[in-house]
Structure 1
């Protein structure tokens, strides 16, 4: 076997592999010997079909099987001899093997970029952590939200105008100009003023309205609105106020805490859980912000050409994930006219950032000698179990069944590498608004 390596770019290689005719003939003979015992050709007994006849009828099939066997038997050895490691599946180029001739095929693939990186390059990053703490006011707001869900609607007996927090009962009809919209009529609709579930124009029109009033509101619907009869139009809603209800919230006491399911015996226990949940949420936000800053600084450490196969792979995943999220939200991407190719162009800068950061992180993983242990994997499944409510063993079985363990291991490896970088960083707590302003400024610069 002869192996020749060509350098097409900093990150792309082409290997030409040449297998001798003797090996080609041996493989073709093996394929035809296997075929002759199974093929049926009129006028010949099984196993007695002459080779020339078999070549006439089954030549393409035999050549295909022989090429796969020749490739499979030499591909790994050729890569080992070249000393190269593809970052993605190579592209194969070859003509079908022919008896008495050498078999030549070419592999074109991307390889990891080579660049210099020292520990001092990433140790001592300056990071800013948002100062986020659960306050008594926030706990009280969460309690109020819980009470809002438990509120009972009570008809308002006295005559008074509707106010924010009330629920107004209306009949309405929608008009496009002076023409009633088909299906645009409804009765006894409850509009929660300030609840944000109805169009703002409708809520504002009903504030201060009394039973018997007939307010109107005009609402503009965007071009992409799912109801085509409303899309891109100003729709007038003629309403008739039929009733007014007020919300009566439960008393904030131990009985209220117990009414939420029996998990809490006292109001103080409920407050403690709310505070703990807020602290966990804020810790996640702090971690995500530090992660973002680390990745921003990490990708600046490597000046190298990006392997196109990795960028394309990342783009494919980003587009796929975006489409799935749209579908889960109830939107049909095709009906919305979304073009995957256009989305890929839009996502490309972000995909390139992710790939660059991932390559540098891989280098840091090597320098820090980060490893994933069985204990790390157990801990990850334990966290997933706590988050999803599913047994850790069941989650592990799902990952094994779907061959997803390598991706999980890669995720843990990346997180441990980020923690190693964070451990050597200088972290300063700042006002969250400062980070929001900085992030918006960077995004505007990228778009500009």
Structure 2
């Protein structure tokens, strides 16, 4: 019934693992046999896109800190958080996953199939309504893909979301080390620019072949990560994939394989650029950026972080940072045409 979102979760996992910068795998062989590296000097990126992503990040923070108030004197509107009961049928027959009670839905968030949330807009508390919706052709449940369903929806309550004001005081309240809105925007813009430049370099790099050893190691890391998530829910990996990712194990693991390859591709790009530009981790880099990484990971100091992660892994993580910063510094921000 809900849209699948595990692709994004897997991508986050892949990025997280890549950020460990090979986790001790040196890629100490000729990478030109494996990739044709894209242009990485003077990469062009749209300034407006960066600014848009900065605003999206800020909007997301405001959403996280929003408060709600009960609404009783008007119909449901886009942006409201509504509580509903619903039951769905296809050709007058109920289907698995098509019925729920006491479900909170943010109208306009796009968490449900097209037409479902729009059908709730305008309803009053206590009202029951039949809403037709079409499952997308590529819906994960092939038995429902492309079919038209009818949902009987009862609106139980409406809440309105109040967003805090975006200002210096709000940034201070986040306790993230920044005390002004401008300084936090500067940090966000730098991080987003680096990510956009790196994403473009990796996407435009052609893979000749993948190193099997590294792909297998990356795949195993991701599987281990999801097994640990499953354990938090007292579930097996199969149960976690079915109940929390809305997929079957084979399909999910095929995505893991794809993202493992993407992580390895990124690692190969990183190592190839570091060699070509003689980017290395100096002792000063290690002390400064290592301390920053230790703080970000909740460690008392670099020494404690080193004991947990090992010096080689920390150096690899710092190399990852240095290469991305170097590429972003060479990038050219372009303005929109016209």
Give the alignment's TM-score, normalised by structure 1. Answer: 0.47
**1:50 corresponds to which residue?**
none
- 2:42 counterpart of 1:126: yes
**1:276 corresponds to which residue?**
183
Q: Is the Cα contact below 8 Å between 1:172 and 1:237 reproduced in 2? A: yes
Greater relative contact order (Cα < 8 A, sep 6+):
2
CA distance in structure 2 between the partners assigned to 1:323 and 1:274 by the alignment: 39
- 2:59 counterpart of 1:152: no
1:430 paired residue among 318, 334, 337:
334
Secondary structure of the residue aligned to 1:209 is coil
Change (3 A) 1:414 1:162: closer
Pairing 1:91-240 to 2, within 5 Å after superposition = 112-113=29-30, 125-131=41-47, 132-133=50-51, 141=59, 145=63, 149-156=66-73, 160-181=74-95, 185-211=99-125, 213-219=127-133, 220=135, 224-225=140-141, 234-240=148-154
Can you list the C-alpha shifts for 1:356-410, whole angstroms capped at 9, x where unaligned? 7634632542xxxx5534332222321113323332232221023xxxx223324
Can you list the C-alpha shifts for 1:255-296, whole angstroms capped at 9, x where unaligned? xx68x96969xxxx99x6444333222201212334456678
1:313 paired residue among 205, 208, 213:
213
1:388 paired residue among 297, 303, 314:
297
Stretch deviating more after TM superposition (275-284 or 409-418)? 409-418
CA distance in structure 2 between the partners assigned to 1:155 and 1:162 by the alignment: 10
Alpha-carbon shift at residue 231 of structure 1 (Å): 7.5
Change (3 A) 1:247 1:177: same
Can you list the C-alpha shifts for 1:146-193, whole angstroms capped at 9, x where unaligned? 56x21222433xxx5432233444333233432344685444444432
CA distance in structure 2 between the partners assigned to 1:140 and 1:112 by the alignment: 42
Secondary structure of the residue aligned to 1:151 is strand
Q: Is the Cα contact below 8 Å between 1:218 and 1:234 reproduced in 2? A: yes
Q: Is the Cα contact below 8 Å between 2:70 and 2:159 reproduced in 1? A: yes
Change (3 A) 1:349 1:139: closer
Change (3 A) 1:358 1:233: same
Pairing 1:38-57 to 2, within 5 Å after superposition = none
Change (3 A) 1:169 1:364: closer
Larger Rg: 1
- 2:160 counterpart of 1:247: yes
**RMSD, aligned CA:** 5.3
2:192 paired residue among 264, 276, 285:
285
Give the alignment's TM-score, normalised by structure 2. Answer: 0.60
Secondary structure of the residue aligned to 2:115 is helix
Q: Is the Cα contact below 8 Å between 1:217 and 1:236 reproduced in 2? A: yes
* Number of residue pairs aligned between Structure 1 and Structure 2: 288
Change (3 A) 1:318 1:179: same
Can you list the C-alpha shifts for 1:73-96, whole angstroms capped at 9, x where unaligned? xxxxxxxxxxxxxxx9xxxxxxxx
CA distance in structure 2 between the partners assigned to 1:353 and 1:252 by the alignment: 38
